Structure 1
């Protein structure tokens, strides 16, 4: 059921990751709260000091939003948004974003300002936009999901950020270091749209964000949002070819590469060829977890009603 468009009397239940992407989380919180107070907006902030508590706090905020006919807002990076979305999607309540973090694909794809105060003001009098959400098994993803090389890259990037700071230069340097190492090849059985493929690949990437797919040059970007997801399978290649592919990605030309296979799909099942492995490391919107096999990728049956700027 389509929820009512949020008004000034709709309370906002904001889950704020105090450690997400900001050098001064307290300042960000003050900017968000002062903007809401000036507008006379009803709200409650659920601050997350310990990342391990994020899922629990997100569920608490979602329960409150459902109880009081409110909206659920995630203030943080893509990983924070993912965790809050996991709790919010089943409620059917409006969902808002105050982007932080490094890349912010969740917000940028939908015209949400990157500045915290501006993004907060955009929540007031916003328009509800129906948006599709991806699923891998029972976990949501708003931007992408992946196995193999990409989760390792994210893991290395996070370690570099903790040591050298959270910015794009650090993220790119960490990615380069990861690409220069030897990589395990996954032997996968992939079933999609009534066909089965046996592949060896260092990484399988599934996208649900048209902006990200456009930026790396995948034509399947136009299929995302039409109850379809986009898959990218990298053929086994050496380090030099991998670096070349990374450069193609920066230039928005991955779709032209001979060592990449990409396609749109509605449902995809992934299993290891041996069938003996019970789980794989999966990254969903930058959050890494161990998923039971087989993996089932699909569009969530529930529609997300995203609060987007009016006009």
Structure 2
């Protein structure tokens, strides 16, 4: 099931200079921000927007969402305003927030921009967008919009990754620990350690790819759409994302200690060295469970960019035919900024 990225004739989307799109002169910015990270961060963001955008004579509107259940609706309304006024929809937050706002931008057909405000910021870092708030805000005034790849699982979009099995459980436990001990990478690491040391079950999945079906038994199925994240865990297929493909990773059935060792390999950037990991690239796969008598489980828990949802089986993972137009640095600068 391996599909080497080098076999495709497609040029990397991120390096397609000819497809870059300049913004309309004076295009307004419609910023949607998740207030979950605290009032201080909201006030800081507003002050920088007023100084950098207002100071440059550019119109902007900041919508602060205090209830996460209202984020999607707020993003859709802002996207419609951006479409009417020939403007840009901007997401301010972590990858989960950015994905929700990006989906609204993609649906409305308007350019999307990012103000990174999360813990890991894989999406912005992969595209060379500065983590510094002042720098990322200044970028809005000079950047062009480049088409970038997004993925879908059924009708749910993801910009970094999607997964089922143990990985969503890791994310749920991480949020619980963050609420108790604060948001930091150290808290995330300890949370993952405690989750991995607990007992977990393996999934039996049927994965259909290019007309062939393979039965896979694994604790988790992880689908990556982020070159930086895939490189950090040491996946040889990481560059495939630039050629219109997604990367699937599934650890083979192992015990808790072996699973912990796999995780440590990933943290050290050596996951693909292990014989206990199956991986392949694809543009579309279907994932189902083997049918059993009296089996009424038709839904399964999914994580997309850190957000949990229940989706109907079978699952279809695919690359979106329509790219997202992202404001980002010029290709050479973006590559130099990746970290």
* Shorter-chain TM band: over 0.9
1:22 and 1:28 in contact (8 A); partners too: no
The yes-or-no answer on 1:287 pairing with 2:307 is yes
Residue matched to 1:272: 289
Q: CA deviation at 1:104?
A: 0.2
Aligned residue for 2:201, secondary structure, equals coil
Separation in structure 2 between the aligned mates of residue 126 and residue 214 of structure 1, nearest angstrom: 26
Q: Deviations over 1:118-167 (max 9, x none)?
A: 11111111022211100100111100000001100000101111111011
- 1:103 maps to 2:123: no
Give, in angstroms, the shift of residue 31 of structure 1.
2.1
SS of 1:301's equivalent in the other structure is: coil
2:9 alignment partner in structure 1: none
Distance, in Å, in 2 between the alignment partners of 1:40 and 1:173 is 46
Quote how far apart the aligned CAs of 1:200 are: 1.2
The equivalent of 2:83 in structure 1 is 66
Work out which of the residue numbers 2, 12, 24 in structure 1 matches 2:41: 24
TM-score by length of 1: 0.96
- CA drift at 1:30: 2.0
1:179 to 191, 196, 202: 196
2:184 aligns with one of 167, 181, 198: 167
Q: Could you tell me which residue of structure 1 aligns to residue 52 of structure 2?
A: 35
> Which portions of structure 1, spanning 4 or more consecutive aligned residues, are displaced by more than 4 angstroms?
none
For the Cα contact (< 8 Å) 1:19–1:25, is it kept in 2?
no
Aligned-residue CA RMSD (Å): 1.5
Aligned to 1:112: 129
Residue 224 of structure 1: SS of its match in structure 2?
helix
User: CA 1:44 to 1:216, structure 2 compared with 1: closer, same or farther past 3 Å?
Assistant: same
**Aligned-partner Cα distance in 2 for 1:236–1:21:** 41
Aligned match of 2:166:
149
1:210 and 1:81 map into 2 onto residues whose CA distance is 17
- Are the aligned partners of 2:149 and 2:323 in contact in 1 as well (CA < 8 Å)? yes
Note if contact 2:252-2:278 (Cα within 8 Å) is conserved in structure 1: yes
Indicate the larger mover: 145-154 or 87-96: 87-96
How far 1:224 moved relative to its partner? 0.8
**How many angstroms apart in 2 are the aligned matches of 1:22 and 1:106?**
24
Aligned length: 310
- What is the rounded CA distance, in whole Å, between the counterparts of 1:101 and 1:162 in structure 2? 15
CA distance, structure 1, for counterparts of residue 30 and residue 235 of structure 2: 36
* Structure 1 residues not aligned, in runs of 5+: none
Aligned counterparts of 1:91 and 1:226: Cα–Cα separation in 2: 25
Check whether the contact 2:20–2:146 (CA below 8 A) recurs between aligned residues. Answer: no
- In 2: Cα distance, 1:22 partner to 1:121 partner: 22
Report the equivalent of 1:246.
Answer: 263
Q: What is the correspondence of 1:188-203 to structure 2 with a 5 Å cutoff?
A: 188-203=205-220
Contact 1:279 1:290 in 2 (8 A): yes
CA deviation string 1:263-301 (max 9, x = no partner): 001111001112632111000000010011110000011
Contact 1:18 1:26 in 2 (8 A): no
Residues 3, 226 of structure 1: alpha-carbon distance in 2 compared, 3 angstrom cutoff:
closer
